[in-house]
Structure 1
């Protein structure tokens, strides 16, 4: 007689309703544990679950903790993030931190189940929305790492002189980078550049509140 062992999954999501929905959706084929408080030792210890399903901040926190503890390197957590947003910058950051899978909170049940089993097998999984977001970013003219640095500081409301000081580069170099950023984002002002970057997912929401006050045209920026 064959006994089928259910996949051990722990759900630790900041939104209780989403956490409960995930548990209910996977209950038929997984042994689901709901964790109300984030416990790194429980999630990474000898009795760690096969798959951890979390929200975006918790998933990144888990992977950062794992990387900071050398003795945990042999036990790589299988982490699947269920995120409210699947914009490019979030997906890219999650993958760079070692997260195995990203799905949107509005993904289908079938997609969720595929994601869980793919992550369990050590495979990367992106839902259709996340894949489309990453694909779109690849066809757009990419910014260099330094241009990305400048763009983020533009989003924080900094002028050229302040950016020059922060990045320790010449003022003329800053102006060159700003001009390149505007051209690549097809923007006529800093405000539009930041707004476009937010829309494309190149920078995060922490820059949203800084975008509105800036209305310098291209000529003033350069």
Structure 2
């Protein structure tokens, strides 16, 4: 009786203890084989897929902002679940993605659905929002983007509307929560 080949898993996490724990879990699970570990995440997805286009990538993360989720899946991951998931869900997600099916946890799916139903920020609005998050005012943003202050105010008005907030501070908070800007 021949056994099917093991699913090879590369564990990527910036916390050494988390990597060690995941490797122990995977190593004890029949049919799974941890083959290595790395420290950095989402940028690695594109690099892995460029060298290994048939790789099946599942993101297991604490980043639950809708933009984080969207970007991870846009980059090529086929699975996305949060670190609040139970062991069985993680192992099931790995096997599901390996079987060439997509997997998103229920909470991740809800965030994606919410994102799909809300107006999307333009590239320029994201640039303005990132500059706002760094503490820049209208005049500084105007200078940085080589546009008029009126244009900056126009973009800020659109940002407030699209994020459904009433001021710049709330916009920055919403952007952090959704993963549009990083700390």
Q: Which has the higher contact order (CA 8 A, sep 6+)?
A: 2
Alignment of 1:116-195 (within 5 A): 116-195=94-173
Task: Provide the C-alpha distance between the structure 1 equivalents of 2:179 and 2:110, rounded to a whole number of angstroms.
Answer: 14
Task: Provide the C-alpha distance between the structure 2 equivalents of 1:3 and 1:60, rounded to a whole number of angstroms.
Answer: 33
Shift of the alpha carbon at 1:193? 1.6
**Cα contact 2:7–2:32 (8 A) shared by 1:** yes
Aligned to 1:29: 30
The structure-2 alpha-carbon separation of the partners of 1:148 and 1:12, relative to structure 1 and needing over 3 Å to count, comes to closer
Aligned to 1:60: 42
Q: Which structure has the bigger radius of gyration?
A: 1
The structure-2 alpha-carbon separation of the partners of 1:12 and 1:177, relative to structure 1 and needing over 3 Å to count, comes to closer
**Cα contact 1:164–1:174 (8 A) shared by 2:** yes
**TM-score, with normalisation over the residues of structure 1?**
0.70
Aligned to 1:115: 93
What SS is found at the alignment partner of 1:142?
coil
What SS is found at the alignment partner of 2:107?
helix
**Cα contact 2:13–2:41 (8 A) shared by 1:** no
Contiguous gaps of at least 5 residues in structure 2: none
Count matched residues: 182
Shift of the alpha carbon at 1:188? 2.8
Post-superposition CA distance 1:82-123 (Å, at most 9, x none): 111221121112122222222111112232122112221333
What SS is found at the alignment partner of 1:33?
strand
The structure-2 alpha-carbon separation of the partners of 1:158 and 1:5, relative to structure 1 and needing over 3 Å to count, comes to same
**Cα contact 2:133–2:181 (8 A) shared by 1:** no
User: Which runs of structure 1 show a deviation greater than 4 angstroms over 4 or more consecutive aligned residues?
Assistant: none
2:82 paired with 1:82: no
CA RMSD in angstroms comes to 2.5
Task: Provide the C-alpha distance between the structure 2 equivalents of 1:126 and 1:60, rounded to a whole number of angstroms.
Answer: 16
Aligned to 1:20: 20
**Cα contact 1:103–1:130 (8 A) shared by 2:** yes
Aligned to 1:106: 84
Aligned to 2:182: 205
What SS is found at the alignment partner of 1:205?
coil
Shift of the alpha carbon at 1:202? 4.6
